[in-house]
Structure formats: structure tokens, C-alpha cells
Structure 1
């Protein structure tokens, strides 16, 4: 039997669905603290892996297609489905898996601090029937992609644009970090976002058909970089 979000989706099937919540939630002004994290980019710049526009684009492309971008999108999709179905047990299980998959202490902090902040902000400013009940299933740490998928599902937002917006926001946040680290300028950063847009679109189309068994990554150097960042001498970012 569908949950409240699923019933609302059925009732509103003939009405256009506004995507404005996604635009609000996935902008830099939404209070999740994304500006404080670089997801290993700071170490990659220090190590010389990222030194210009092309190397940044290649690094981020790998993180998207082979690393946490793809995995986070899978987790967000499953959280979205659990929220629509009103399945709080499945939601809690997806969240526990998402937290456990963080490959270092810094990356766990990155996803959990943003996830809890995102969920608290949505509950405070964008209430919806069933949101508090679904959120209560997530006790303690909340992974960011799970929080986004949960909120989008409860609000009746379609999965495909949710994934596309989530992945694009991920790219934009990381490009913003790279600009602040100074290997590239703002115009080059904008080109990198545009260059990765087809990858974002392709992933958003692929992810809905994937299961939790498809989770995995192969960005070993970035994972090792997150460990090394913990003792990096000078740091602007928390990851």
C-alpha cells in the first residue's frame, strides 16, 4: 500500500509538479554547510593532481561516474522510493548503509553533517505530511543523499529531476571549492560544470534501474587523499 507521499503523487498525477523545492534546497544558500567541504579536492590540489581546468574536469568526472557521485545517487533513489512507499524500515536501512560506506572519518563527517542540517532545514521551512514521521526513522547520523531522497519523495518530487539536480549541485559545490583553492578561475569553473552536464544527465537516467547491489566505487586515489588530508599542513576545508 502506498504511503502518504505515494497517495499524493497519484492524486496529483494530472497536475503539473513544481520543482521549485529542488531549486531552493540545492543552492549554495541552503544551510547545509557545503562550502566547508571539498571531498578531497584540497588534497588533490596540494598533491598536484589538479592544476588546471582539464585536470579538474577529469578528476570530477571520475568522482561522478566511478566514485561517490554514482553511489550517492543510488542511495538517494532508494531513499526516495522508501519515502514514497512510507517504508520507514527500508529508509533506516538505506541510511545505515550510506553512513557505513563513507571511506574516511572526514568524508563521513561531510555527508552526515550536511545530511542532518539538510533534513532539519527542510523540516523547519518546507513541512509536508509524513515528513516528520519519515525523519523520525533516521536516528543519529543522516547521510546527505538519503536526506535529499527522503525530502524529495515526501514532497512528491519526481525521481529523475531530483537525481539530476542533486548530481549537478554536487558538481557545482566541488567546482566552487576548486575556484577557492585557485587552480582555476570562475570562467573555467563554469566550463567544467558545462562539460560534466552530459555525465550528470546520463547518470540520472541510469540510476533508477540500479539496485543497492550496484553500489561501489573505484576512486582509490581520492579515498587515500581523504586520509592524507586529515594531517595536511594547511587546510581551508574540512574534507
Structure 2
């Protein structure tokens, strides 16, 4: 589902991807804190380059593909496919902390939606959401992009807008971490976010035309940083 965003859909997207939505996103840095501590990112330009690679070649791209595939599986009414995508999303994490980052946020996201924004179970995707979150066979752990893809489909939000909002939120959260940890000025952080707008647009378009065979990352330094962060002596963030 693509196209213009209705007022209701916009309201829900702004809510679900808001920093105020209680998933604890502000406590995660995606390994960025370790890179900053090691001297790999110390300026706004270095941050822009780092995040561009994460979006185009790392978790940004792969998570967008997972989210898109989940969205479409939910619209098709495939409970098992969504369950398999959730298991795949957890299995793909390269480190303990990255597993925590996606599973803690995804599970908290689903729990909050159940408590505050339950989708209409009469729709096809709403029935998938209900089937995976009720009864003896309910999922107990969700990777964040799969959780978000399912909820956006169940609330009938446009796919392209949902992917864009997800990637913008992901990027803004990492910029916020860098503003605190480098530190950078707030205006420098906003300039980085503005510079990454075309990158996010391109990743969104590619994710909507990709399949599961396209999953994969080549951001080895980011993966190693997330592993090294587990034993970092002094730290502000959980990942």
C-alpha cells in the first residue's frame, strides 16, 4: 500500500515513530558509542559518512527489507511468514548487544500497541497481529523492524511512508546519541539529518523492490564495534 498519507495515518505514524513512544530507543547507539570512544567518529562529517554506510549497506537497509516483507506478508494474511520473518530478524543480529537492541525495542513496541493502539482484528493484517499476540502460540520476542512492519500493515498505513518514517527515526536516534557522546551541537546534528534525506529516500525505494535474497550487510566495523561495546568500561548506552 502506497500513496498519499491520510490525516489518521499520519497521526499514527508520528505516534509510533516518535521518540516519546515507550520503547527506550534513546538508550541504544548501535555500536556508535564505541566508535566515538575509539576516535572513529568525532565530527559531523564523519558521523554523516558513518550513518550513510549504515543506511545503505548495513542494518538500515536490511531492516527496511525485513519491514517491507513483513508488511506484505501481513497484508496477505500469512501468519507463518510473519513468524518466520521474526525468527530471521533475531537470527541475523551480529552481536549480543544488537540482538538486545532489536528485540527489546520490538517487544516493547508490540506490548505498547496491544495496550494502547490495538489494530482492528477484522482486517486481514489485523487478524495476523491478533493471531501472533494471543493464545498459547503467541510470539514472545519481536525484532523491531518486523514488529513495526506488522503494526503498520494492521493499521493500514502506507508502506512507503512507513519505511521512510522508520529510517528517519532510526537515523535521528543515532544522531541524538552522537550529539550527546561526541559531543556535537544540535544544529550540526540537524545538518547531518538533512544531508541524509536523499539516502533514506533511496534506501526506501530499494527496500520496496527487494526480496529476502537481498538481505545482508557489509558494515563490518559497525558489527565489530557492537561486539567491543559489550566490554567497554565506561558507557552511556546499551548498544
1:130-164 deviation line (CA, Å, top 9, x unaligned): 23224346523210000000000011111111100
Matched, 1:193 2:187: no
Residue pair 2:23, 2:105 contacting (<8 A) in 1 also: yes
Residue of structure 2 aligned with 1:86, choices 67, 73, 77: 77
Contact 2:33 2:237 in 1 (8 A): yes
Residue from 21, 40, 56 that aligns with 1:49: 40
1:102 paired residue number: 93
The CA distance in 2 between the partners of 1:19 and 1:207, in whole Å, is: 21
Which of 132, 135, 144 is 2:133 aligned to?
Answer: 135
- 1:22 aligned onto 2:20: no
TM-score by length of 1: 0.91
The residue number in structure 2 matching 1:34 is 25
Give 3-state SS (helix, strand or coil) of 1:139's partner. coil
Q: Is residue 2:78 matched to residue 1:111?
A: no
Provide the secondary structure at the position in 2 that maps to 1:234.
coil
CA distance in 2, matches of 1:115, 1:26: 12
Give the corresponding residue for 1:4: none
Residue matched to 1:170: 170
Q: Distance in 2 between matches of 1:17 and 1:115?
A: 23
Query: Separation in 2 of the partners of 1:100 and 1:135?
Result: 20
Indicate how the Cα distance of structure 1 residues 55 and 89 shifts in structure 2: closer, same or farther if over 3 A, else same.
same
Q: Write the distance in 1 (CA, Å) between the matches of 2:138 and 2:182.
A: 38
User: What is the TM-score normalised by the length of structure 2?
Assistant: 0.91
CA distance in 2, matches of 1:66, 1:134: 31
Paired residues of 1:86 and 1:134 also in contact (CA < 8 A):
no
Corresponding position of 1:183: 183
Residues 173/16 of structure 1: CA separation in 2 closer, same or farther (3 Å cut)? closer
Does 2:161 align with 1:158?
no
Q: Which residue of 1 aligns with 2:220?
A: 220
Counterparts of 2:12 and 2:53, CA distance in 1: 29
Please give the root-mean-square deviation of Cα atoms over the aligned residues, in Å. Answer: 1.6
Per-residue deviation, 1:86: 1.4
Q: 2:156 & 2:132 partners in 1: Cα distance?
A: 14
Cα distance between partner residues in 1 of 2:35 and 2:211 = 31
- Which structure 1 residue ranges, 4+ long, deviate > 6 Å from structure 2? none
Residue-by-residue CA offset, 1:161-201 (whole Å, 9 max, x unaligned): 11000000000010011111033111000000000011001
- Which stretches in structure 1 are left out of the alignment for 5+ residues? 1-8
Structure 2, unaligned runs of 5 or more: none
